[in-house]
Chain A
Amino acid sequence: MSALAAPNEVVTRALLRQVNVPGLDRPAALITLDNGFDHTKPNTFGPAGLTSLDEAISAALAAEPAFIAVTGKPYIFCVGADITGLPLLADRAQALEIGRLGHRVFARLKDSDVPTFAFVNGAAMGGGLELALHCHYRTLSAGAAALALPEVSLGLIPGWGGTQLLPNLIGIPAATQVIIQNPLMQNKMLKPKQAAELGIADVLLEPADFLERSLEWAAGVVRGEVTVTRPEVDKDMWAGVLYFARQTLDQRLHGAVPAAYRALDLLETAKDADFATGTAAEDEALADLVFSEELRSGLYAFDLVQRRAKRPAGAPDKALARPVTKVGIVGAGLMASQLALLFARRLQVPVVMTDLDQARVDKGVGYVHTQIEKAVSKGRMDKGTAARLYGLVSGSVDKSAFADADFVIEAVFEDLDVKKQVWAELEKIVKPEAVLATNTSSLSITAMAAELAHPERVVGFHFFNPVAVLPLLEIVRGERTDDATLATAFAVGKQLKKSSVLVSDAPAFVVNRLLTRFLGTVFAAVDAGTPLEVANRALDPLGLPMRPLALLQLVGPAVAYHVGGTLHAAFPDRFGVSENLKRIADSGQPIVVDDEINAEVAKLLVVGDQPLTEDEVRRNALDALAQEIRLMLDEGVVAEAQDIDLCMILGAGWPFHLGGVTPYLDRTGASERVTGQRFLPRGVASLAG
């Protein structure tokens, strides 16, 4: 054991108490998992925690209890293995050992002659849920925050029995969903009701008296008064479901996430293998994955999203932020309307939209109202909130409605002169300290503010489409933007529940600059004569959320061409202008139809005679990214490589297994090849050796 001891483990202790339950002639053993902190620091299992559980089970059994039950501290059952300990494991043998230790301790609950129960009172994830799966029976609180086996999202597999127990409990289709599909779908979690419907719990109980009812239910089971029936697992569909799941994975990830494939293999094993064989296979998979680059990138990305996103690097003192009691939105188009709804929902202050004529204003306000109605009819918003929002959002053709606004954001046509004109007009109306925010995706904040009396209150506030979904907000500091303005922008971003990253006033900021450079390389290959299909497939090994041409279609060829133009003007040597892209944009034709390249579009292209292979296209794209990121860091666009990765994860949906992007560029050698150095030292987002 001492070999495994993790120096920084926050130990979740297994507290044992003998409990007299009415109707039973012997006490039951109730084990509480509790790390001694409140719910903001959830229970996890490291070596010492597992040992504590082992001891509690021994002591419980020694007293010959009527049953053994395991429950959690308030709001938290257990959220799984202590992943912070994983990078500290010295070698594969230690990784094997940690897997085996969990298996050995949990198996005692499965193999016990005394009935065992999990009373899942709160959040149960990973190893926490696997512990519950080992128990003979499970009760579940309807108030539990979430249940999940999220391991694959990080680059692991549920390696403490999850891949073997779950499919044999709830069937292979649902188990595949929980173990593979959900983690790869923005780490989707189960609500208690869904988990109970899937059969993960035997009974769903209300939170108010969950423990009392659970003990009573368990006593009923022990006395034979409560009969637990579970649907029989259909073994005939096993192979078919996994075949289909594998195909889907191939289409989406092209083999880029080894953990997902290992999980598939283990689910296959679970069909016929005995439990010992299945768990031994889990141990091997776990040990392999702990020493994989993808896991290290995943852990790094997880930490960025969980911690760095909540404490933006370089943000000024929060105390400088000014209160925002009214928001103005210049424009009433689709983007402006989405912003109006978001600001009203999150800030709960009056939001007024303006536009050139009443018809546009009415359309914008109408859009917001329709969205509210939809949310109510789908049960996602209660009527009281809806009534409040109706009252908060208004429209006007008269910009004097902004006179008492503290924060005005513009979402007008992407043209520097137009925007300057808007601000010049507004400055005569708004209070001198009102923040003027621009949702520009590529124009200079400094230039936009240059002729204003108070340029210090202009800030970039760049959302990603769809506004309600993508969590990233690039907050752009112009040359003269002051700290109070910036602090207010960060405070508003936080209230909007966005993850803000501070970027300097550089062309196209972070995400658009990198995506444009990346797509530009791919399009350059096309211009040179590379078939569209080849260029489109070239990045498959990365397992990106979509292929380059699908991304181009999502962004819109015209927008891409426009942003490309801005960047070309700034950096003509690295950002080319593709006439082919213009031809596609002008044609208005979709590039991709049903996942296939549109042959009509292919015909429009005028190309050279120097086609590249997939490997060459990919290498060019990665090299371009490495070069651009190094330049951005040198220019001080963001504080550190970590911020680039955070932007790519949250703003472009780039995956955890790449660590965003710089860990992947490091591990494939692109960074050293192009820039002569790594972005991150070994061990930060990669294996130490």
Chain B
Amino acid sequence: MPREVRDVVFVDGVRTPFGKAGGMYANTRADDLVIRCIRELLRRNPQLPPERVEEVAIAATTQIGDQGLTIGRTAALLAGLPKSVPGFAIDRMCAGAMTAVTTVASGIAVGAYDVAIAGGVEHMGRHPMGEGVDPNPRIVAEQLVDPSALVMGATAENLHDRVPHITKQRTDAFALASQQKTAKAYANGKLQDDLVPVAIRDEEGGWGLATADEAPRDTSLEKLGSLKTPFRPHGKVTAGNAAGLNDGATASLLVAEEVARELGLPIAMRLVSYGFVGVEPEVMGVGPIPSTEKALRIAGLSIDDIGLFELNEAFAVQVLAFLDHFGIADDDPRVNQWGGAIAIGHPLASSGVRLMTQLARQFAEHPEVRYGLTAMCIGIGMGGTVIWENPHWEGNK
């Protein structure tokens, strides 16, 4: 059967404010966070009849308890989507939501369905990293993988060993810039429109409303320099130059371009290509370098064609390694204009869609930019990159 591959567009994306583990979402269920996002997405796009949604892919790294039970399906039901809408759970650690997006995009591209919701959730307060894991003893016995590969902070220290020119001072400076850019973005109202307020509750205060990220903080190079290095004595990785432990959820709407036009849905980004690549697990932070090269190759583009970058800041060292590799300055204005995960937070499997919603808003502000990319490193040694085209691009006029 001859068939065409269809263009897939990113219509809209939302996220909850990100909380600190043990913080404002301490009494909020993980599934409720992502349900809230799905409902808001539908509400913001009333042109979309709910029954036209044909797939719901929700990522979570720790798929147990309130992040288990095939969360894509149960979240769809609990969000009030028709029972005819299927769903599934997906996991690629930090790139869970990114993989949810690329997976449903692929389904749309081959014509399996027209409209899908992709997102992710991680409540690291309720589900600490590594909860319930049972690593195969062969990992140690056969020395297949360095045991430090399972501790993300340790992999960041390992990466420092491989790129000694990236100093702790540089990572702290990058982290400070991230905080400052996020503070400025908040002040200028850049981030708020992505946010879905979430009802929260605790015993002493009763009900409240989460309307802003909990993690961003006012800091300085001095303060950053004084933080402990928990992963290695006299190491370089601190709580200040890495993303924290966070709670949050995201959801996005992916649609075949022709169907988006038929339904009158806005087109925020057009998918160009994507790539996922494995690297040595003990230096997982380098992952985005080969995955970006792969995505560029598939798209027939070079790094110079990319006008905006949304890079997940799991660790400052890992972003800097990426920038160095591609010859991009630490303070290049194309990169993480509104700061990144070091300030905003990184609820593992949810973060991929946050990168996309921010890139989408930046596209609208930058019609001179044609291409942008979202990229992130992934536990157990992987990288993921998605390249997007700006539908607002005016360069050809």
Contact = CB atoms under 8 A, between A and B. Distances in A.
Contacts of B39: 208-209
B135 interface: no
B211 interface: yes
Contacts of A34: 203, 206
Nearest to A28: B209
Interface in A196-227: 206, 208-209, 211-212, 215-216
B192 interface: yes
Interface string B199-219: 101011111110110000000
Contact of B203 (A20, A22, A36, A74): A36
Nearest to A216: B197
B95 interface: no
Interface string B164-202: 000000000000000000000000000010011111010
Say which size band chain A's interface belongs to. Answer: 20 to 34
A31 interface: yes
A441 interface: no
B199 to A, nearest CB: 4
A36 B203 CA distance: 7
Contacts of B208: 17, 19, 30
B206 A212 contact: no
- Which of B79, B199, B205, B212 counts the most chain A CB atoms within 10 A? B199
A208 B80 contact: yes
Contact of B211 (A21, A73, A211): A21
Given A20-B209, A32-B207, A212 B36 contact: yes
A71 interface: yes
Interface in B191-250: 192, 195-199, 201, 203-209, 211-212
Contacts of B79: 208
Contacts of A215: 197, 209
Of B192, B196, B205, B206, the most chain A CB neighbours within 10 A belong to B206
A36 B202 CA distance: 11
Interface in B58-83: 78-80
Contacts of B198: 212
B206 A15 contact: yes
A640 B356 CA distance: 71
A206 B201 CA distance: 19
Contacts of A206: 80
A211 B36 contact: no
A15 B35 contact: no
Contact of B197 (A22, A30, A73): A22
A19 B209 contact: yes
A74 B205 CA distance: 14
A30 B207 contact: yes
Interface string A1-33: 000000000000001110111100000001110
A206 B81 CA distance: 13
Interface string B105-127: 00000000000000000000000
B36 A209 contact: yes
* Most A-side CB within 10 Å, residue of B79, B198, B205, B212: B205
Interface string B9-39: 0000000000000000000000000011001
B206 A20 contact: no
Nearest to B204: A15
A30 to B, nearest CB: 6
B211 A22 contact: yes
Chain B interface: which size bin?
Answer: 20 to 34
Interface string A62-97: 000000000101100000000000000000000000
A13 to B, nearest CB: 8
Nearest to B196: A212
A32 B197 CA distance: 18
A687 to B, nearest CB: 39
B209 to A, nearest CB: 5
B197 A212 contact: yes
A74 B206 CA distance: 10
A211 B207 contact: yes
A22 B205 CA distance: 20
A71 B208 CA distance: 11
Contacts of A17: 205-208
A17 B203 CA distance: 11
A38 to B, nearest CB: 12
B214 to A, nearest CB: 13
B80 A21 contact: no
A90 to B, nearest CB: 33
Interface string A241-260: 00000000000000000000
B284 to A, nearest CB: 37
B36 A21 contact: no
B42 to A, nearest CB: 11
A211 B199 contact: yes
Contacts of B197: 21-22, 212, 215-216
Greatest chain B CB density within 10 A among A30, A71, A206, A216 is at A30
A75 to B, nearest CB: 13
Nearest to B198: A212
Contacts of B80: 206, 208
Nearest to A119: B207
B213 to A, nearest CB: 13
Interface string A141-160: 00000000000000000000
A19 B211 CA distance: 9
B29 to A, nearest CB: 12
A195 B197 CA distance: 28
Contact of B199 (A16, A73, A212): A212
Contacts of B196: 212
A16 B209 CA distance: 13
A32 B211 contact: no
Interface string A489-520: 00000000000000000000000000000000
A34 B207 CA distance: 10
A9 to B, nearest CB: 19
Contacts of A31: 206
Given A17-B205, A19-B209, A21-B209, A208 B199 contact: no
A15 B202 CA distance: 10
Nearest to A210: B199
Contacts of A30: 206-209
Nearest to A13: B206
Nearest to A19: B209
Contacts of B36: 208-209, 212
Contacts of B204: 15
A215 B200 CA distance: 13
B78 A22 contact: no
Contacts of B212: 20
Interface in B293-331: none
A558 B198 CA distance: 66
Given A208-B35, A208-B80, A32 B199 contact: no
Nearest to B40: A209
B203 A212 contact: no
A73 B202 CA distance: 10
B259 to A, nearest CB: 26
Contacts of A16: 205-206
Interface string A35-62: 0100000000000000000000000000
A22 B40 CA distance: 14
Interface of B: 35-36, 39-40, 78-80, 192, 195-199, 201, 203-209, 211-212
Given A30-B206, A71-B206, 19 more contacts: A15-B206, A16-B205, A17-B205, A17-B207, A17-B208, A19-B208, A20-B211, A22-B195, A30-B207, A30-B208, A30-B209, A32-B205, A34-B206, A208-B35, A208-B79, A209-B39, A211-B207, A212-B199, A215-B197
Interface of A: 15-17, 19-22, 30-32, 34, 36, 71, 73-74, 206, 208-209, 211-212, 215-216
12 contacts: A15-B205, A17-B206, A22-B197, A30-B207, A30-B209, A34-B203, A34-B206, A36-B203, A208-B80, A212-B36, A212-B199, A212-B209
Across the A-B interface, the 10 shortest Cβ-Cβ residue pairs: A32-B206, A15-B206, A211-B199, A17-B205, A19-B209, A32-B207, A17-B208, A20-B211, A212-B199, A212-B197
